[in-house]
Chain A
Amino acid sequence: MANGLYSERVMKHFRKPHNLGKMKDPDGVGKIGNRRCGDVMWIYIRVKANRIADIRFQTLGCAAAIASSSILTDMAKGKSLEGAIKITSKGLAGELGGLPPVKLHCSVLAADALAEAIYDYYKRRKKPVPKGLQKRHDTLKERGESH
């Protein structure tokens, strides 16, 4: 059921999030957000043959943050790393049937958290990090959103 503020799809993912919970021995972890501004998201990925074989999340945040994390895991699962990096906040919000304007930053956090998890994977494997991803990571670090 939609609730006036949120779409039906947001409420569905909020009530029954997909791929929720910690992952044991992940290949990469992305940690985004801070408690002061509200939401904290951690994304765990397992990579096999350059694809996201498994993905899980833990989120402390509002319904939009939880739903954004949940839809992100659905969209990223099975994608190649190159494809997964291309998931945008707009794409997430669209899949959720839209987010209220003040909540759009939640979808930005989710997309960034996945990028950070992939960055972490490259680093752990000592693989060269694609240029765009390195830049994105540096910006997030600068803004104090990556942890």
Chain B
Amino acid sequence: MIYLDHAATTPVAKEVLKAMEPYFSQMYGNASSLHSPGQEARKAMEEARESVAKLINADPDEIVFTSGGTESDNLAINGAGFHVFARFRKEGKKPHIITSRIEHPAILETCRHLEGIGFEVTYLKVDKEGMVDPKELEKAIKKTTILASIMHANNEIGTIEPIGEIAKVCRKHLVLFHTDAVQTFGKLPIDVKKLGIDLLSASGHKLYGPKGVGCLYVRRGVKLAPQAHGGGHEKGIRSGTENIAGIVGFGKACELAMGDMKKESSRLENLRKRLVREVLKMPNSRLNGHPTKRLPGNANFTFDFIEGESLLLRLDSRGIAASTGSACSTKKLAPSHVLTAIGLKVEETHGSLRLTLGRQTKGKDIDFTIKAIREEVEALRKMSPLKR
């Protein structure tokens, strides 16, 4: 199988699996226990916290472990929102949050939920390459704005947002800035101190770590209302006995990413450039997202006169795993909100194909994929009544 869906998830690296293994039935202590097995678990967790923090130049005590990207996003938005909600309500005001139309559902659905209970949310437009304009964000800020949440890079089209500029704007107006960095964590260099980020979400399974573990970076001094109440774990923000094996795996994954980030991102970028160049030689095909400011391993195409689901399944038969933003591939039969936000017509979203490269992707896989895409798109176009 040529797996080209690394934006969805990645395989657990063998070093990660090896690091995790002892923490299931040998070193199974509860990190809250005072005895040696408990302290052994705590030590492993704190070492992992250091590895995670180091990757983004944070301090270890600014890392809150969670169950993954979705929970981190929820914790950031709800945590910041409910920290001020009671006070705003007393003053008869609605706390205001700014986000973009191309965020992951973990952000968008959380915002929609908050709107329903008395928050105000602005969903910023993006340009046709998927870019948020920091000036537009600044214009949207008002007295009641408490938080802006803009993703670092988009999971579908790969566009990298100008989060440094956005963070500056937020800092200037004393608005908290959260970024969903699930797709960039360990893939692109991030320095939370230099960038001026207040909150940042990451997830283990997108960087060769296990599923069900992630973190929220919470800059020292930023106050969040706890979202899981209980025994006061993770500085009282997120109670629950820690997933030690998962956390250890996440830490190991960060260590590995730290080591190979630079080399790997330029390798992936070269492979992606070749893929894009060759695939776009086909007529009636386009690249979605920004031509250069995009995730190194992300390619997202639109092919006219074909249906993405059919292309995906034909590629699957040839041993290539990809993904599509076509409505036909979803339960709700709704086209991708990201593709429609960058101005694609509904009929164009039907012919979309996303390929996301990763550590195991080799040059020969890309060559095989280019050939397969050409042949399968051609075959489907031959079936189509619309293509002459």
Question: A residues within 8 Å of B by Cβ?
Answer: 3, 11, 14-15, 17, 20-22, 31, 35-36, 38-42, 58-63, 65-66, 102
Q: Which residues of A contact B314 (CB under 8 A)?
A: 15
- Decide if B310 touches A66 in the complex (CB within 8 Å): yes
Q: Assess whether B372 is interfacial by the CB under 8 Å rule.
A: no
Minimum CB–CB distance for A79 against chain B, Å = 23
Contact of B386 among A11, A17, A35, A36 (CB under 8 A): A35
Q: Which residues of A contact B310 (CB under 8 A)?
A: 14, 61-63, 66
Contact of A62 among B305, B309, B347, B385 (CB under 8 A): B309
Contact with A along B286-328 (1 / 0, CB 8 A): 0000000000000000000111011001101100000000111
Q: Which residues of A contact B333 (CB under 8 A)?
A: 38, 102
- Decide if B383 touches A36 in the complex (CB within 8 Å): no
Q: Which residues of B contact A58 (CB under 8 A)?
A: 383-385
| Chain B interface extent, by class | 20 to 34
Considering the chains assembled together, what is the distance between the CA atoms of A11 and B317 in angstroms? 10
Contact of A3 among B313, B327, B347 (CB under 8 A): B313
What are 11 A-B contacts defined by CB distance under 8 Å?
A: A31-B385, A35-B347, A36-B345, A38-B307, A38-B327, A59-B383, A59-B384, A60-B387, A62-B307, A62-B309, A66-B310
- Decide if A39 touches B383 in the complex (CB within 8 Å): no
- Decide if A66 touches B385 in the complex (CB within 8 Å): no
- Decide if A15 touches B317 in the complex (CB within 8 Å): yes
Q: Which residues of A contact B328 (CB under 8 A)?
A: 38-39, 61-62
Minimum CB–CB distance for B188 against chain A, Å = 34
Considering the chains assembled together, what is the distance between the CA atoms of A66 and B311 in angstroms? 12
Q: Which residues of A contact B305 (CB under 8 A)?
A: 60
Is the contact region of chain A dominated by helix, strand, or loop, or is it mixed? Answer: mixed
Nearest residue, chain A, Cβ from B324: A62
Considering the chains assembled together, what is the distance between the CA atoms of A68 and B99 in angstroms? 42
Contact of B316 among A3, A21, A65, A102 (CB under 8 A): A3
Nearest residue, chain A, Cβ from B332: A102
Q: Which residues of A contact B313 (CB under 8 A)?
A: 3, 11, 14, 63
Minimum CB–CB distance for A69 against chain B, Å = 9
Q: Assess whether B350 is interfacial by the CB under 8 Å rule.
A: yes
Considering the chains assembled together, what is the distance between the CA atoms of A20 and B379 in angstroms? 11
Considering the chains assembled together, what is the distance between the CA atoms of A31 and B385 in angstroms? 9
Considering the chains assembled together, what is the distance between the CA atoms of A41 and B383 in angstroms? 10
Considering the chains assembled together, what is the distance between the CA atoms of A41 and B326 in angstroms? 18
Q: Assess whether B346 is interfacial by the CB under 8 Å rule.
A: yes
Q: Assess whether B331 is interfacial by the CB under 8 Å rule.
A: yes
- Decide if B307 touches A60 in the complex (CB within 8 Å): yes
List 8 other contacts, CB 8 Å, given A36-B347, A62-B326: A14-B310, A22-B385, A35-B386, A41-B385, A60-B306, A60-B384, A63-B309, A66-B383
Highest count of chain A CB atoms <10 Å: which of B307, B327, B329, B347: B307
- Decide if A40 touches B309 in the complex (CB within 8 Å): no
Q: Which residues of B contact A40 (CB under 8 A)?
A: 384-386
Considering the chains assembled together, what is the distance between the CA atoms of A62 and B350 in angstroms? 9
Q: Which residues of A contact B326 (CB under 8 A)?
A: 38, 62
Nearest residue, chain A, Cβ from B314: A15
Contact of A60 among B317, B329, B346, B386 (CB under 8 A): B386
Q: Which B362-388 residues have C-beta < 8 A from chain A? A: 380, 382-387
Minimum CB–CB distance for B230 against chain A, Å = 37
Highest count of chain A CB atoms <10 Å: which of B305, B327, B345, B385: B385
Minimum CB–CB distance for B309 against chain A, Å = 4
Minimum CB–CB distance for A71 against chain B, Å = 15
- Decide if B331 touches A102 in the complex (CB within 8 Å): yes
Minimum CB–CB distance for B210 against chain A, Å = 23
Nearest residue, chain A, Cβ from B328: A62
Q: Which residues of A contact B380 (CB under 8 A)?
A: 60
Nearest residue, chain A, Cβ from B348: A35
Which 10 pairs, one residue from A and one from B, show the smallest C-beta to C-beta distance?
A: A58-B385, A60-B384, A35-B347, A42-B385, A62-B328, A62-B309, A62-B307, A36-B346, A61-B307, A63-B313
Considering the chains assembled together, what is the distance between the CA atoms of A58 and B317 in angstroms? 21
Q: Which B228-245 residues have C-beta < 8 A from chain A? A: none
Minimum CB–CB distance for A57 against chain B, Å = 9
Q: Which residues of B contact A63 (CB under 8 A)?
A: 309-310, 313
Considering the chains assembled together, what is the distance between the CA atoms of A124 and B163 in angstroms? 63
Q: Which residues of B contact A11 (CB under 8 A)?
A: 313
Nearest residue, chain A, Cβ from B346: A36
Considering the chains assembled together, what is the distance between the CA atoms of A91 and B306 in angstroms? 27
Q: Which residues of B contact A21 (CB under 8 A)?
A: 382
Nearest residue, chain B, Cβ from A100: B331
Considering the chains assembled together, what is the distance between the CA atoms of A22 and B383 in angstroms? 9
Q: Which B24-46 residues have C-beta < 8 A from chain A? A: none
Minimum CB–CB distance for B144 against chain A, Å = 39
Minimum CB–CB distance for A62 against chain B, Å = 4
- Decide if B385 touches A65 in the complex (CB within 8 Å): no
